[in-house]
Chains A and B, each alone.
Chain A
Amino acid sequence: MPQATMNLEGLEMVAVLVVLALFVKVLEQFGLFEPVSLENSVEDEFELSTVCHRPEGLEQLQEQTKFTRKELQVLYRGFKNECPSGIVNEENFKQIYSQFFPQGDSSTYATFLFNAFDTNHDGSVSFEDFVAGLSVILRGTTDDRLNWAFNLYDLNKDGCITKEEMLDIMKSIYDMMGKYTYPALREEAPREHVESFFQKMDRNKDGVVTIEEFIESCQKDENIMRSMQLFDNVI
């Protein structure tokens, strides 16, 4: 019966293959037979977790920033408590910032902020960056603060703010408001806001706002100047 024999042979082959597979497994157990595996990836993971950043000494920071020694101590203790590794990466930053704005989506604005704090653009905010930024905002002159704000708006850091950049910023700020606002948020609200901003700031109407135009226009606005006093007592 050729059919039967064919079946038998096929099955015998299968049986032999199964036996071979089991044999290989047994050899693996004994460590005599090491199949090719992706062992490199394991080592990579170790690298990341051991990164730890220490800030420069207290004296240096005192020189660089306008905070007193005690203030720096308090700031560092809080920072280290939250980020034991010494640095904040973008994800953490977004998460922290989102805790203050539960109603809306603050992730875009947080990204912009992160880029503003991360002055050396290495993807992480260390304590020095953190404290330097805070020093400018909280202890700097009005011009310093305006400079910092300009830096925040200038997304590509080319020295001037275009309408698109401003629109992105504006949208991110309005996103933080969330859905439930009064009056209800309209689609065109950010765009209108940007238009009014440019009308105020853009002196030569060339469609971009440079740093000089920006500072000049802000200094002329009393409201803005007065609101700058808000930041004197934050820390």
Chain B
Amino acid sequence: MAAGVATWLPFARAAAVGWLPLAQQPLPPAPGVKASRGDEVLVVNVSGRRFETWKNTLDRYPDTLLGSSEKEFFYDADSGEYFFDRDPDMFRHVLNFYRTGRLHCPRQECIQAFDEELAFYGLVPELVGDCCLEEYRDRKKENAERLAEDEEAEQAGDGPTLPAGSSLRQRLWRAFENPHTSTAALVFYYVTGFFIAVSVIANVVETIPCRGPTRQPPREQPCGDRFPLAFFCMDTACVLIFTGEYLLRLFAAPSRCRFLRSVMSLIDVVAILPYYIGLFMPKNEDVSGAFVTLRVFRVFRIFKFSRHSQGLRILGYTLKSCASELGFLLFSLTMAIIIFATVMFYAEKGTNKTNFTSIPAAFWYTIVTMTTLGYGDMVPSTIAGKIFGSICSLSGVLVIALPVPVIVSNFSRIYHQNQRADKRRAQQKVRLARIRLAKSGTTNAFLQYKQNGSLEDSGGGEEQALCVRNRSAFEQQHHHLLHCLEKTTCHEFTDELTFSEALGAVSLGSRTSRSTSVCSQPVGAGSLLSSCCPRRAKRRAIRLANSTASVSRGSMQELDTLAGLRRSPAPQSRSSLNAKPHDSLDLTCDSRDFVAAIISIPTPPANTPDESQPSSPGGGGGGGASSTLRNSSLGTPCLLPETVKISSL
């Protein structure tokens, strides 16, 4: 119920006295009244800024954090206030919602931050007031689009690293779509571009009048007629190349139907068809007219350039997206043309030798005048005609000027989007390099910790303790956690080199010593390693299945779900080979007692190339294998271990 309703409820109840005398049955007794303490002032301390409000104000919305008993979790008995470690500026808006019943959206804050605050305080975004709703939605949509673009770009950016097992078809298609990926594709790209240019220039040049070698026949012929063979050969060559390209694209396209319907393929077809039709047409005079028409279509070859130029594509896309504005422009122009043409025709009807012979004839005058061309081939001579003619030209300027800014702003927006995409692709490489660096950094730190730890176990003494203490308490706890995970899964974190060595060793049939040292059940682990095939992907899945099972055990989920989870990883793992050794692992690792920790790590910090992930309760448990894989491959902004949040209990 809205805020005001709660205020008026006592009034509505009081007004029920009007029903009393009419009641035919005894009315129910009033509900028990809790101790009316009277209204009290609550102090809410948000990051040091104190907000004070009546308790009743907060009670207006009982299904939010501040209105329900959930706020008691944040009560600080020493100071007698509710303490929230959040943004005080945003809290102002939240509190105003309680006071006024309307949630306003701050203009200068990031919309994502605002959303997060709303989620924390238990307010649904639909509560945003009407005054700010439009803007809120627009900004959110913009953000979402941008994020979607980011993701798309990342996924598309993965393109260059195509899986090795792709077919010729896939490689061909990729070569066509991204010419920069291989040299051959680049060469092909430039060759086709060159031939398009040649073809277009040939079309143009063959109509220029050439002078003959002998000056005697003074008549001028177009070059096409003087050197028919040369032009024919050039045309044939270009068409052969275009046909070859089209057929190759058709072969390589992943979805041929979609390719056939796409605009570019239509342009290709239109570019090469006239030639073939011309070849097979008989050379008699009746159809030569049609033949000439066909030649006109050859000019469409110039549109093939749009594959080579991004600017052209943007222009085309802009025009498509502004279709409604263009339609409106056309419609209003047509209306105006008809009106003015009619008026001009009747105005000029009386004069002799007038050009305005009919209304359609007057269309030409109107169009020329409205677009301010003013050829002067049709000119009104009467006064009325001149007056209406001037009104026509004035209104023409207005009608055309109105939709043009819309088209321009659309074009600018799309153009900038494209610019951003290009910039992002350039930055992506730098980002990926940084991510890899960070990952290897944390792995090294963890491996070093293990070495130090093992030195301690073997009785290392005081000098070891010094170097251990250099790391922060946070790091220590984190590493301890990873260590626990290793012990649980009977696997170890390694770096890339040792892993590939181990892999090589496994494929040769020998077991590495590492696996035996970690796990107390060499048989189980060994069979695991030797029974799994050397393919990296499968091994990854097995490790993940184990790790997710252990994480779910280690996380704070209730014990009854754990039983279910322990069983479920079996179907989740890729091979049934896993089932038997998995059970044996359960038995050995059951007695362990490890620190239960809730982790929310955006990027898996100790990420070895085989990416066994200790994190992400969202990924752990249930069907998490594939999603955790994906999680690690997406580069998230949070890179360094310091930014990892862990709250260990």
Contact = CB atoms under 8 A, between A and B. Distances in A.
Interface in A187-235: 193, 196-197, 201, 214, 218, 223-224, 226-235
Most buried by B among A5, A146, A227: A227
Interface residues of A, number: 59
B517 to A, nearest CB: 71
A224 B384 CA distance: 89
Contacts of B8: 78, 82, 96-97, 99-100
Given A8-B382, A8-B384, A214 B21 contact: yes
Contact of A8 (B1, B4, B9, B350): B350
A100 B15 CA distance: 12
A169 B20 CA distance: 13
Main secondary structure on A side of the interface with B: helix
A15 interface: yes
A58 interface: no
B39 interface: yes
B383 interface: yes
Contacts of A201: 21
A134 B12 contact: no
Interface string B1-33: 111110111111111111111111111011001
Contacts, number: 129
B350 A138 contact: no
Contact of B10 (A14, A153, A196, A234): A234
Contacts of B391: 18
B529 interface: no
A4 interface: yes
Given A15-B383, A173-B22, A227-B26, A99 B5 contact: yes
A96 B22 contact: no
Contacts of B347: 8, 11, 15
A88 B391 CA distance: 56
B38 interface: yes
B24 A193 contact: yes
Interface residues of B, number: 45
B346 A148 contact: no
Interface string B267-278: 000000000000
Given A7-B350, A100-B12, A193-B22, A233 B4 contact: no
B140 interface: no
A81 interface: yes
B33 to A, nearest CB: 5
B474 interface: no
B349 A7 contact: yes
A187 B387 CA distance: 73
Contacts of A218: 21
Interface of A: 1, 4-5, 7-8, 11-12, 14-16, 18-19, 70, 74, 77-79, 81-82, 96-97, 99-100, 109, 112-113, 116, 130, 133-134, 137-138, 145-146, 148-149, 152-153, 169-170, 173, 193, 196-197, 201, 214, 218, 223-224, 226-235
Interface of B: 1-5, 7-27, 29-30, 33, 38-39, 54, 56, 99, 343, 346-347, 349-350, 382-384, 387-388, 391
Given A81-B3, A134-B10, A138-B14, 20 more contacts: A4-B350, A8-B347, A8-B382, A12-B384, A70-B38, A74-B39, A77-B54, A78-B7, A96-B8, A97-B12, A100-B9, A112-B18, A137-B15, A145-B20, A193-B24, A196-B24, A227-B20, A229-B30, A232-B30, A235-B14
